[in-house]
Every structure is written in C-alpha cells, then in structure tokens.
Chain A
Amino acid sequence: MSSIIQQLINGVILGSVYALLALGYTMVYGIIKLINFAHGDVYMLGAYFGYFFIRVMHLNFFIALILSMAICSVLGMLIEFIAYRPLRHSPRIAVLISALGVSFFLQNGMSYLYGSDKRAFPQAIETTQYHFGALQISNIQIIIVTTAVALMILLHLIVKRTKMGRAMRAVSADEEAAILMGINVSRTISFTFAIGSALAAAGGVLIGLYYNNIDPLMGMTPGIKAFVAAVLGGIGIIPGAALGGWLIGILETMAQAVGLSNYKDAIVYAILIIILLLKPTGILGKNKREKV
C-alpha cells in the first residue's frame, strides 16, 4: 500500500516537471496557435544559464534562477521577433517549420559550442530526504512541486487579473477585434513569449538541480511529452496543462510500477489517443474554448 502511495507521489513530481514545461506551450498555443517546438530548447538554455551562474559566477541558487529566467524571457521575445513575427500572417505550418528550425539551431548550436556531453549541474542545494513512515520525499522534490503549483497560480492570476492578461485573452479570442479595441497585439504576444520562456527557464534550472545533469538535447523528449500533456489537458487552458502533466507523470510511473517499463511511452500515447477520440479537444477543452 505504502509503495502505491509512494509511486503516486513520484508520479506527481514527474508530472510537475512536465506541467512546468506544458504551461509555456499552452500559453503560446493559446495566443498564436503555434506548437512552439523551440520551447523545450529554451528550457535547455535556462538550465545552461543556471549552470553558468552557479558554477562559473558562484551566485546564490535563487539569484541564478531569477537571472536565468530574465535572460530567457528576453531570448524568448527575440526568438519570437526574428523567427515568428514576420510569419504571423503566413500559413501556420510555415511558423511550425520555423519553430523547428529554431529548435535545431539552439540544440546544435549549444552542442557545437559546448559539446553534446552531459554536464553535472552544481548541487547548489544539498539534498535532504524526509521520511514519513515508509514514504520518502526530498527537499528538492518539494521545491519542484511547490514551484510548479506557485507558478500555475501566479500565471492564472496574471491572465485573469492584470491588464496584460486581459489583453492576452482578447488577442487569443479575436485578434482583429483586439486591434480595434486598441490592444497592441505585437506587444501582447511578446509578453506571452517572455512569460512562457521565463517559465521554461525556471523549469530548466530546477530540473537541472533535481536530476543533476544537463545536455544540449535535454529539451527534446520532455518537450514532446509536455506538448502531449498540454494537448491532453486541452491546449490553451492553463489548468489543463497542469492536469495533463500530472496525468502523464502518474501514467508513466504506474506503467513502470506494474512492470511495463518497456511500453511506458506507448501506454501514454495510447491513452492520449483514446482521450482525444472521446473528447477531441482534450480533457478540459470546451467547444467555446477559453484560451490563454
């Protein structure tokens, strides 16, 4: 029994990792309907900046985290400005290929400059294990889950309560109408990318700390998984990203717990397809969708 609960906890932690990434995907998708393949690579860059600030500049972990988020949000806006904005009125698939190009560029550029080998992420926070009966959880795992939840709430508040959030929702609902209402669409989209990229960077630094290793291709697999999570929950919906992330995390964990480790990804995809067939817009997706 306790091992089932422990596995559930493991699933939630892994799911939080996916959810952190899925949030950025879902925001960008909500506003410009783009599967931002480069999102996973911004996460990778975030981890590398974190590495740089802690290992080379010897900064405090939280300062490094915030700096890395700041730099990545600028980078996110830059990517949008260079590679996506000129294509805003082009076929959507063109933007998708451009996003793939950015993704390849970041992965292979980092690999070219710093090698593809894994690097150990500095252990800025000492791991401590807490025991609750037979259950076990570490301080870093707690940090991951709390950060994920906190960021979700923060994001929800930004989208619902702030002026910028309202602009985001407006652009997402109807770009033309938003322009007529005097909303600066370009600035709103830039802002969305800034926030999404900052979230990805936060994810990168935290996950680097948690798994203790980073490499230029680290964004690829989690990137696809996070995208699946966003779709599963209903893409464009913030609580959906969280739900999708946790669901996938738990599914993967449970598949391994019952001895199907060979098929864990296949199971995730099979369930995804079944859910999409039953609810074609994802679990929380509605016909009249609330986006961003």
Chain B
Amino acid sequence: MDKTHIKYTLSWATLALMIFILIFVMTIFNIIGPYGMTTIVLIGINLIAAVGLNLVIGMSGQFSLGHAGFMAIGAYATALIATAIPTVFGFVISLLIGATLSGIVALIVGIPTLRLRGDYLAIATLGVAEIIRILIMNLKITRGPAGIFAIPSFVNWQVVFGLSVLTIIVVVNLVRSTTGRAIIAVRDNEIAAESLGINTTKYKVIAFVIGAMLAALAGGLRASFIQSVSPQDYSFMQSITILIIVVLGGIGSISGTVITAVALGILDVVLQSFGSLRMVIYALILIIVMLFRPQGLLGTFEFSLKTMLFSSGGDNDKDHSKNA
C-alpha cells in the first residue's frame, strides 16, 4: 500500500469521524432528539439499499425493479431469527443469514434473467419481487399480512452510521478493483467487454448479488429498528423509492446517492405535515429535478477528497470531472 493511498483513506476516515462526532455532540445537547435520530437511522437504511442498487443499475447498467423483494428477505430473516435468539449475537447472525439467503436468491434469479435486456430485465425483477412478497403473505412462518412484531431492537443511529460508512467503503473499493472495472466495462459497452474476454454474465451476476445482499442488510436493520415487519412494507413502491434515490443522485455516482438519500430523508420530514398534498409536492420535485438535471444531481461525478484537499491547482469544479 503506497503512501498517498493511506493518506486518502485516512482523510476519508477523518471526515466520517468528524460527521459522527458532530451528530454525537448534537444528540448530547438534545439538538437532535429522538425524532432526529429516527430520521438519521431511516436515511442510513435507505442509503445502504440505494448504494446496493446503484451498484446494479449504475455500475453494471442492469435495470432492476426488484430491490424490495431482497429487502423483504433480509427483513424477515432478522424478524424470525432475532426473535428466536434475542441477543446481539442472534441479531448479527440474522443479518448474515438474511444477506446470504438474499444473495442465493439473487444468484438463482440472476443467472437466467440477467441475459435479458433493459426493460425486459426490469419487468422480470419486478415479477420476482412480487412473487417473494406474495409468498411471504401466504406462508405460515411469516404470519401472513399482519407480519411479525415485537422484534428485539439492536439498532440505533451509531450502528446504522457505522454500517453505512462500511457499505460505502466496500462498494467504492469494489468499483475500483479489477472486478469493478470489469463491471463498469460491461455497462459501458457490453460487446466490447465480451470481445476483451470479460465474462459479462458473471460480472452482471456479481453486481446483482452484492446489490441484493446490501438490500437484505438494509431490510434487516429496518426490521430490528422498527421492531415489526409486514408484507406491505415491501411492495413495488419500496423498489421505486430506492430507485428514485439512485436516479436523482446520479446513476453511477455513490456521492450522489449519499447526498440524495440525506436530502430525500429530510424532505420526508418536512412533507409529513402536508397531508394529502405531500405526494403532490414530492411528484413535482421529482419532475423538476429530472427536467433540470436529467443526469441526476451529481451526474457521474464523484466527490473526491483527493481533488479537494491535495491538488495544488484547487480544481474542484464539479462540471470539470463530469462526463454524463
């Protein structure tokens, strides 16, 4: 590991730590109360799911509408296992099992369906998510439409904050690895990638499986935080919510996903008081953002400490590094 790499890693770690300390201090002095903490947790959970979906849509270029299904698998795994073993150990195990299970389902579904192109894949993944939800609604073990409640809670904002940072680190490093380069090559030009000897299906499946595992992690965290799950939580609309975060932030931009997840989380807080006008405002914001920033808020731009802190020219004009 060379010196500059350590320097960047350290500065990222410092930034994360600084945000953490800031939130922590604010909670001590009750500037962020219980509601603020709830909001931070929900933002973090959406963020984890959205980073996973961005890997599928943004990096590998596969259009999935089935993220809710994988979240549901994680949520129910945590609901069932953490209720049976109500300890931190049980909770961690439940997250791992949920993610593994979700990964396996993604693998089984992904190998045949990822051959499909664009919108056909979208509808197939939508179908898979709906099938998962309908199964959950009808199985005995998942307790039907009422779902499971009184799930022990092991999630607070510190846990979600830590896992969000971890998720981002893992995905960013994955994107920069050989596998990541191959995944992006498949997105940019599938035929060219294939002729260079890249097994395109393999890399699409890898991205899809990791995306599904992150979705399951998000689902598991949410189940433990809200302390209840029900099939209605994981309908088509949930997939759409996550998709919107990804697209609004800029497909392929992890920084964009982070910023939009936070922005939409705060927007939700504001809109709660608007009653039935709420979704009208939300819809208008969606349309307006898309009309003025079709490539998403950040496009494919990545927020980079390298250019901000260490470049002598101070060239941090974002339009410069954007190539949408």
Contact = CB atoms under 8 A, between A and B. Distances in A.
A94 B295 contact: yes
B127 A90 contact: no
Chain B binding site: helix, strand, loop or mixed by DSSP? helix
A100 B291 contact: no
Nearest to B237: A220
A111 B283 CA distance: 13
B294 A87 contact: yes
Interface in A267-291: 269-270, 272-273, 276-277, 280-282
A101 B283 contact: yes
A194 to B, nearest CB: 21
Given A93-B251, A272-B123, A112 B287 contact: no
B124 A101 contact: no
A20 interface: no
Nearest to B294: A90
Interface stretch (B19-27, B35-43, B112-120, B305-313): B112-120
A265 B295 contact: no
Interface in A83-126: 83, 86-87, 90-91, 93-98, 100-105, 107-109, 111-112, 116
B123 A231 contact: yes
B178 interface: no
A93 B134 CA distance: 27
Contacts of A227: 123
Contacts of A145: none
A263 B138 contact: yes
B287 A280 contact: no
B281 to A, nearest CB: 9
A262 interface: yes
B237 to A, nearest CB: 9
A280 B134 CA distance: 24
B265 to A, nearest CB: 18
A45 interface: no
A228 interface: yes
A199 interface: no
Given A97-B247, A280-B115, A228 B290 contact: no
A83 B291 contact: yes
A35 B243 CA distance: 15
Interface residues of A, number: 44
A282 B134 CA distance: 24
A109 B279 CA distance: 8
A270 B127 contact: yes
A235 interface: yes
Interface of B: 57, 63, 112-113, 115-117, 119-120, 122-124, 126-128, 130-131, 134-135, 137-138, 236, 240, 243-244, 247-248, 251, 276-280, 282-287, 290-291, 294-296, 324
30 contacts: A35-B119, A35-B122, A90-B294, A93-B247, A93-B251, A94-B290, A96-B247, A97-B243, A97-B248, A98-B291, A100-B244, A102-B287, A105-B280, A107-B279, A108-B278, A108-B283, A109-B280, A262-B134, A262-B137, A266-B134, A269-B126, A269-B128, A272-B123, A273-B127, A276-B116, A276-B120, A276-B124, A277-B112, A277-B113, A281-B120
The 8 closest A-B pairs by CB, nearest first: A90-B294, A101-B286, A269-B127, A104-B283, A105-B283, A108-B279, A101-B287, A94-B294
Interface of A: 29, 33, 35, 83, 86-87, 90-91, 93-98, 100-105, 107-109, 111-112, 116, 224, 227-228, 231, 235, 262-263, 265-266, 269-270, 272-273, 276-277, 280-282
Given A101-B285, A108-B283, 19 more contacts: A87-B291, A91-B324, A94-B290, A97-B247, A98-B287, A104-B279, A104-B282, A105-B287, A108-B276, A231-B119, A262-B134, A262-B137, A269-B130, A270-B127, A272-B127, A276-B116, A277-B115, A280-B116, A280-B120
